[in-house]
Amino acid sequence: MEIWVNARIRARLKQLQRKSGTSMSEIARQGIVKQIFTDTPLLPHEEAELEQIMAEEDELFPEFTQVFKDPNLPSALAIREQFPTPHAVATASLSALTAARVGRHPSDAKLALLQQLAAQSIGTRDLGRLRGLVFEQGQLIRELKLLQEHLRQLEEEITRIIAQSREGRILTSIPPIGPIQAATLIAAIGHINNFSKAAELKAYLGWAPVEEQSGKTLDHARLTLGGNRPAKKTMFLIVANAIQMKDSEWAKLYERLLPKKCAYDERKQDYTGKVVVMGRLAGQIIELIFGFLKQDAEMLSKIPPGSLLPEPMLYDQSVHQLHRQGQYQPLRPAPKPNTVVLFSPSDS
C-alpha cells in the first residue's frame, strides 16, 4: 500500500544526494520536484476512498447529506466516525454531537435536524449488513485521514524544496503562483533551455493561440488543443488567482480587456467569452516566466564552477506598474546598434 509518502521522499532525496554530491537546493534545481510528482500517486487513492465512503453512507444514512452537503468534510467525517449509524446519532446527546464537530459547523440547529432525520432514516436495518458497513466505513475513514495527512506532509516537503530552488523562488515571487503551482510548472518545464522562445513554452503549456483565417469570411481564434495537461490546468488556476487579486496588474488588465474582447449579455448582466481574456493573461504570465527563467539560466551559464551564485532576479510589482505606464525596461540590455564610420580621402 503506497501511503508512506514522506519516508519515500526522504529516501529519494538522500539517494540523489549520495549520487550527485550536491546540496538540497541544487537537487531541487535539477528536477527532484518532478521525481516526487511522478513517484507518489496519491490523488487516485484519495478519490477512490472518498467515493467508497460516500457509497457506504448512502446505504447507512442516506439523509445525512441533507445537513452535510459534502459528507467527506472534516466535521462530517468526525461525526460519522464517532456516531456511525442513524441510531447512534438519534440517541446521542446534542452536547456530544457538538463536541464531535470540527469548528462551529454545522450549527446546533442543524445538528438537531440531523437527529430528527436519523430517527426517521430509511437506511438499511439488516443487522448483519449494518455491522459490516459500520466496520468498513470506520476503516475507510481512518485510511482517508492517513492519506490526507501524508498529502499534507508531501505538500510541506514540496514547499520546502521550492523555497530552496532558484526556479522556485523566481516563480513564487510572481503573486498568482504558489509553491504547489510552481512545483507543477517546474516538473513540466524541466530546464528552460528546452525552449528557445516564449512561444514554444506557451504551446507546450497549452496556452498558444491558433488562428483560422480564410481571407473572406472565416476569422476565428482559439487555444491549442495540445500541451501538457497538468501544466495547462495549473496555468488556468494561476490566472484565476490573478484575477481575484484586485490590487495586481493582472486584475487591472483583465478588467480593462473585458469590455474590449467580450460581448455583454443583457439577460445575464455579464460578459461572455471571458476565456479569451484569460488566455491573454496566461500568455503574458508565461512570457514573464520564460523571461525570468531564461535570464537566470544565461547568467548561471557564465559563472565558473565553484563560484558563489548571485541572488536570482525576482518579480517586482513596482517595476511591473512602471511597465504598464509605458516605462518599459527589458530584462536583457538592448544591443548597441552597429555604426559605420566613413573616412574622407583627406583623413587617410
- The pLDDT tens digits for 197-235 are 999 999 999 988 777 666 666 556 677 777 888 899 999
Q: Worst-scoring range by mean pLDDT, 100-114, 249-263, 329-343?
A: 329-343
pLDDT of residue 13: 44
State the pLDDT confidence band at 161, using cuts at 50, 70 and 90.
very high
- DSSP structure class, residue 329: -
State the pLDDT confidence band at 69, using cuts at 50, 70 and 90.
confident
Measured between alpha carbons, how far is 197 from 294 in angstroms, rounded to an integer?
9
What is the C-alpha radius of gyration for the chain, rounded to an integer number of angstroms?
A: 28
- DSSP structure class, residue 326: T
As to burial, measured by CB atoms within 10 angstroms (0-12 exposed, 13-18 middle, 19+ buried), residue 10 is exposed
Res 53 pLDDT > 70:
no
**One-letter identity of residue 17:** Q
pLDDT of residue 335: 62
By C-alpha distance, which of 231, 230, 211, 214 is closest to 222? 211
By C-alpha distance, which of 49, 53, 48, 15 is closest to 32? 15
Q: Worst-scoring range by mean pLDDT, 77-86, 230-239, 257-266, 320-329?
A: 320-329
State the pLDDT confidence band at 297, using cuts at 50, 70 and 90.
very high
pLDDT of residue 44: 53
pLDDT of residue 250: 87
**Between residues 28 and 221, the one the model is more confident about:** 221
**One-letter identity of residue 34:** K
Residue-averaged pLDDT of the chain: 79
Residue pointed to by grid coordinates 440531523: 114
Q: For the whole model, what pTM was predicted? A: 0.68
Residue 110 to residues 49, 53, 67, 320, 341: CA-CA distances in angstroms? 26, 22, 6, 49, 87
**Between residues 188 and 20, the one the model is more confident about:** 188
Is the CB of residue 111 less than 8 Å from the CB of residue 94? yes
Rounded to the nearest angstrom, the gap between the alpha carbon of residue 205 and the centroid of all alpha carbons in its chain is: 14
pLDDT of residue 218: 55
Residue pointed to by grid coordinates 483583465: 254
Measured between alpha carbons, how far is 14 from 24 in angstroms, rounded to an integer?
9
By C-alpha distance, which of 144, 146, 137, 145 is closest to 84? 137
**Between residues 69 and 324, the one the model is more confident about:** 69
By C-alpha distance, which of 81, 89, 69, 221 is closest to 143? 81
Mean per-residue pLDDT, 236-258: 89
Residue 181 to residues 108, 116, 155, 177: CA-CA distances in angstroms? 38, 44, 11, 6
